[in-house]
Every structure is written in C-alpha cells, then in structure tokens.
C-alpha cells in the first residue's frame, strides 16, 4: 500500500480534548497529543501528516485500515453504541455474530486503535464490573461513563 496524507486536528469531545488524524476514508488515529496522533497515523500508513480543520473531522473510522474477522465485527458493533448506552462483552460478542466469544470481544476492545471514535469504554463485564480500559485505565473508563450519565452497579 502506498503512503497517503493524513490531516490532524484537536477536537473537543465529551471526554476532553483529543487529537484526531484522518484521511478521506475516515479517522485513522486518535491521541492525547498531536505527536501521538501523528505517530499513530504514520504507523497506519500515512506518509505525511498535516494540520487539518477540526470542523472537517469525519465521524466514521477508516474501516479499510481496521482488522477483519471477528475483531472487525466487534469494533463495528461497538462503533454503533449510542452515547450513554452500555453493554456487556457477551452482548458485544452476540452483536458481532459470535455469542460465545465474550473473551474475544474483550480482547478486541483492548486492542481498539481508535478509542472514543469506537467507544470501547461503553462495554463492561457481565458481573457488573467495569472491565479494563487500555486508553487510560479503569479510572478513565469510570469517568467517561459518569460523563455519559451511566455507571454499572459495581462501577
């Protein structure tokens, strides 16, 4: 695949500022700093990263850069979760077409390359616990769910 150009801009989200990198196909990287988003965009294949207009950031991930198979289906199912909607890893697995793959759903969320864009913080354990959050730990996951007005019973 040949290198392409990505744009990067700071975006104010309901969970604080994030730097988002994108190309015509959609979002390719997210970071807490410009440097982090640019580094991740280059790792995804961008040859050049330039300043972009925050008002032009797409809402969709660039699905062509994300994995296929169950992991890709789990990421797509998670992307469809609405603000304030919380589901379990088991439910995510069911929505992704593999109802017995709750652990695999957890692994897919742990490897989510686009946190906030693909809101993996909205997926929790069946026992009511938060589960992990690779983009800032359980304290960040708890804070994000509270911001959305939801928190599991054992949160």
* pLDDT category of residue 81 using cuts at 50, 70 and 90: very high
Question: Residue 87 belongs to what domain range?
Answer: 66-147
Query: Do residues 33 and 81 both lie within one domain?
Result: no
Q: Choosing from 120, 123, 124, 135, which is the catalytic residue?
A: 120
- Per-residue pLDDT at 1: 57
Query: Do residues 72 and 109 both lie within one domain?
Result: yes
Residue 57 exposure: Cα atoms within 13 Å on the Cβ side: 20
153 domain residue, yes or no: no
Query: Do residues 90 and 128 both lie within one domain?
Result: yes
152 domain residue, yes or no: no
pLDDT at 13 over 90: no
Q: Is 120 noted as a catalytic residue in this protein?
A: yes
Query: Do residues 115 and 143 both lie within one domain?
Result: yes
Q: Which residues contact 69 (CB under 8 A, 6 or more apart)?
A: none
Domain with residue 92: its CATH number is 1.10.10.10
Burial of residue 115 (CB within 10 Å: 0-12, 13-18, 19+) is: buried
CB 119, CB 79: distance < 8 Å: yes
80 domain residue, yes or no: yes
Query: Do residues 15 and 41 both lie within one domain?
Result: yes
- Per-residue pLDDT at 152: 57
- Per-residue pLDDT at 153: 52
Query: Do residues 72 and 91 both lie within one domain?
Result: yes
On average, the pLDDT of the chain sits at: 94
**What tokens were used for 80?**
């469809």
Work out the angle at residue 31's Cα, subtended by the Cα atoms of residues 67 and 136, and round it to the nearest 5 degrees.
Answer: 90
- Per-residue pLDDT at 12: 92
Query: Do residues 46 and 85 both lie within one domain?
Result: no
Centre a 10 Å sphere on the Cβ of residue 47 and count the other Cβ atoms it contains: 11
**What tokens were used for 82?**
């609405």
pTM: 0.91
């Amino acid at each position: 695949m040949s290198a392409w150009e990505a744009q990067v801009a700071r975006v104010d989200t309901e969970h604080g500022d994030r730097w988002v990198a994108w190309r015509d196909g959609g979002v390719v990287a997210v970071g807490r700093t410009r440097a982090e988003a640019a580094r991740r965009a280059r790792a995804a294949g961008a040859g050049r990263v330039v300043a972009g207009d925050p008002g032009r950031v797409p809402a969709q991930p660039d699905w062509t850069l994300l994995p296929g198979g169950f992991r890709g289906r789990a990421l797509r199912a998670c992307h469809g979760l609405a603000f304030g909607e919380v589901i379990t890893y088991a439910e995510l697995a069911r929505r992704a077409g593999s109802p017995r793959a709750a652990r695999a759903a957890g692994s897919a969320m742990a490897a989510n390359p686009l946190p906030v864009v693909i809101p993996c913080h909205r997926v929790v354990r069946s026992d009511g616990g938060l589960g992990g959050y690779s983009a800032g730990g359980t304290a960040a996951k708890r804070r994000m769910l509270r911001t959305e007005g939801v928190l599991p019973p054992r949160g």
